[in-house]
Amino acid sequence: MNAVPRNLAVLADVLAQTGPDGRGALWQLAEQGRELDANLVRLPPDAEVGEHREDTLDVLLVVLAGSGVIVTGETALPLAPTTVTWLPRTSRRSVVAGPEGLAYLTVHRRRPGLTITSAPAALPAREPGGGEAPCALDRVCPECGRLAEGRAPKFCAECGERLGGH
Measured distance CA(106)–CA(116) in Å, rounded: 28
Taking residue 59's Cβ as centre, other Cβ atoms within 10 Å add up to: 20
Contact 33, 4 (CB under 8 A): no
Q: What is the pLDDT of residues 40-68, one digit of tens each?
A: 999 999 999 999 888 889 999 999 999 99
Q: Does the domain made of 11-112 have the CATH classification 2.60.40.420?
A: no
Q: Give the SS3 label for residue 133.
A: coil
- Our CA angle for 70, 72, 74, nearest 5°, is 115
Residue in 9, 165, 18 with CA at minimum distance from that of residue 101: 18
Report yes or no on whether pTM surpasses 0.85. no
